Amino acid sequence: MNNAISGFSKLSKEDKINWIANQYFANPSEAEETIKQYWNNNTQLQQLHDEFIENTITNFYLPMGIAPNFLINGNYYSVPMVIEESSVVAAAAKSAKYWSTRGGFKAKVINSEKIGQVHFIYIGETAKLESFFNKTKATFLSATESITKNMQKRGGGILDIELRNKTNELENYFQLHATFETKDSMGANFINSCLEQFAKTLKEEAQNYPDFSEEEKNIRVVMSILSNYVPNCIVRAEVSCKIEELAENKIETPQEFAEKFVQAVNIAEIEPFRAVTHNKGIMNGVDAVVLATGNDFRAVEAGVHAYASRNGKYSSLSHAKIENGIFTFWMEIPLALGTVGGLTSLHPLVKMALQILKNPSAHELMQIVAVTGLAQNFAALRSLTTTGIQEGHMKMHLNNILNQFQATKDERVAIAKHFEKNTVSHASVVELIENLRK
């Protein structure tokens, strides 16, 4: 069977599905039925989703849950989370409830600077290029006025532009390195538009610069693009309380728990193999809220993990300490988020999620997202240093196993009762189901 096709994008949605079903499935009609059962009956809503990406054939559902009782800077939030992994929402909600009686979470935005670069090749004297840039810097800014006008009205715009010499790393390679403030928008389109104008201005002004030789005038722009690494777009989230206040049913000896917790964080700070999994737990919380609010979780992931490696070694994003009888757990992470533009004005559930969060500004959303990541991390470390991670996780995973085997209502009741006192594992659940069905 030949699976290559020409002109797939030009086919109708029905024809795309028909081709997929006939090329890859033994029972094409069954495949078509599976694909179409995820369509939305509201044709207008379905068309909206179809147009988010290209070559759409259906919708891929992820559950949207709520983690309530987040007390952040004195205000309560119910946090929408979109994720497929069991126990994540439950863990976030449990952490939120736990810290709501211990002063809640404190969060603040340290900076919100974003970055974009024009990458170019210049062959000639570096001193001439530096002189050229200094003399024409104002022109770069004035040439973007039509692009920046509306952003400036909102208090944003271009913060600075500088010339960077990277020739010690790559021959003849230079950058225009620009910083931006984009207020409540993530700002990708705004930044990229400014950068493309910078590139155009760079080439035009170089052609007219009298001190350049013909070769020096021929500046070659390689690309103009924003960076998802935003080390100066930082938010801090923190919890703290007296050690004795850590006590609860799982934490019978608060001092011992606090010391073990700090040790666990210290291990993640120096051991990359642990740090990756440790930070993945943080991103369980971060990504789930980023997705729910229509932001780009891939950009956030890339930037956060680069930040975790900023000192030359991959390390924990969170930190913990005991000082003068006070336990403190905190994190600083880069988050470039928006509450206007993109999906925020298109996706009905994104709009709803933002409304549940009380229509936050970008700075407020940064704080909520960071806090959710810290809460997730606390929940994971509390489990790891007390009962172990699998007890809670596997109980939450039990539903997935039961759904896989299409367990009846009576079977579910019997199985739930059995695992109140027994350890959940995939093998033990399967064995119990088989015994119940004999």
Task: For residue 337, tell me if it sits in a domain.
Answer: yes
Q: Mean per-residue pLDDT for 277-290?
A: 98
**Phi and psi torsions of 408, nearest 5°:** -80, 170
Final residue belonging to a domain, choices 165, 192, 227: 227
pLDDT tens column, 33-89: 999 999 999 999 999 999 999 999 999 999 999 999 999 999 999 999 999 999 999
- Of the listed 16, 119, 393, 397, which one is catalytic? 393
| Residues 275, 314 contacting (CB under 8 angstroms) | yes
Task: pLDDT band for 396, please (50, 70, 90 cuts).
Answer: low
Domain that holds residue 36: 8-50
**pLDDT over threshold 90, residue 116:** yes
| Mean pLDDT on 260-285 | 98
> What would the pLDDT profile of 137-193 be if each residue is shown by its tens digit?
999 999 999 999 999 999 999 999 999 999 999 999 999 999 999 999 999 999 999
State the pTM of this model: 0.88
pLDDT score of 392: 55
What is the reported pLDDT for 1? 59
Mind listing the pLDDT tens digit for each residue in 399-414?
778 888 888 888 888 8
**φ, ψ dihedrals at 15, nearest 5°:** -70, -35
Output the pLDDT for position 424: 76
147, 182 in Cβ contact below 8 A? no
Answer yes or no: are the C-beta atoms of 385 and 264 closer than 8 Å: yes
- For residue 162, indicate whether it is catalytic: no
The domain boundary residue, chosen from 227, 256, 280: 227
What average pLDDT does the structure give for the chain?
A: 94
Buried-exposed string 326-362: b where 16+ CB fall within 10 A, e elsewhere: ebebbbbbbbbbbbebbbbeebeebbebbeebeebeb
Catalytic residue among 184, 287, 296, 364: 296
Instruction: Return the bridge partners of 327, or none.
Output: 241, 322
pLDDT in tens, 4-33: 999 999 999 999 999 999 999 999 999 999
Q: The domain that contains 274 carries what CATH number?
A: 3.90.770.10
Q: Is the pLDDT of residue 394 over 70?
A: no
CA distance 8 to 6: 6
Question: In terms of Cα–Cα distance, which of 287, 289, 288 is closest to 305?
Answer: 287
Task: Give the active site residue among 280, 319, 351, 395.
Answer: 280
**Residues 295, 319: one domain?**
yes
* DSSP symbol at 53: S
- The percent of residues above 70 in pLDDT, for the chain, comes to 97
Q: What is the mean pLDDT of residues 261-278?
A: 98
From CA 398, how far away is CA 379, in angstroms rounded?
Answer: 19
* 287 catalytically annotated: no
Q: How many domains does the chain have?
A: 4
Distance CA 146, CA 128 (A): 29
- The enclosing domain of 180 has a CATH number of 3.30.70.420
Instruction: Tell me, yes or no, whether 175 and 152 share the same domain.
Output: yes
Query: Is residue 253 one of the residues assigned to a domain?
Result: no
With respect to residue 245, please indicate whether it lies within any of the assigned structural domains: no
Q: What angle do CA 428, 434, 436 make, to 5 degrees?
A: 100
Q: Which of 225, 162, 223, 222 lies closest to 191, judged by CA?
A: 225
Task: Provide the pairing of β-strand 114-121 with 220-227.
Answer: antiparallel
| Among 13, 85, 203, 260, the one annotated catalytic | 85
Nearby residues of 353 by Cβ (< 8 Å), 6 or more positions away: 64, 80, 292, 293, 294
The answer to whether position 57 is within a domain reads no
* Contact yes or no for 227/117 (Cβ under 8 A): yes
Do 86 and 21 reside in the same domain of the chain? no
Predicted pLDDT of residue 410: 81
pLDDT of the residue at 397: 65
- Residue-by-residue DSSP string for 163-209: EEE-TTTSTTEEEEEEEEE-TTB--HHHHHHHHHHHHHHHHHHHHT-
The verdict on residue 139 lying in a domain is: yes
Instruction: Answer whether residue 395 shows pLDDT above 90.
Output: no
Whether 383 and 400 map to the same domain: the answer is no
Whole-angstrom Cα distance, residue 243 to residue 262? 12
**Secondary structure (DSSP) of 373-436:** HHHHHHHHHHHHHTT-HHHHHHHHHHHHHHHHTT--HHHHHHHHHHTTSS---HHHHHHHHHHH
* Structure token pair of residue 199: 């590139």
Same domain, 84 and 146: no
Q: What is the pLDDT of residue 427?
A: 80
Q: Which two tokens stand for residue 169?
A: 């790393």
Domain assignment present for 251: no
Query: Catalytic: 393?
Result: yes
In this prediction, residue 398 carries a pLDDT of: 76
**206-232: average pLDDT:** 97
- pLDDT of residue 425 exceeding 80, the answer is no
In a domain? residue 32: yes
| Whether pLDDT at 389 is above 60 | no
Tell me, yes or no, if 85 is annotated catalytic.
yes
Q: Does residue 239 lie within any of the structural domains?
A: no
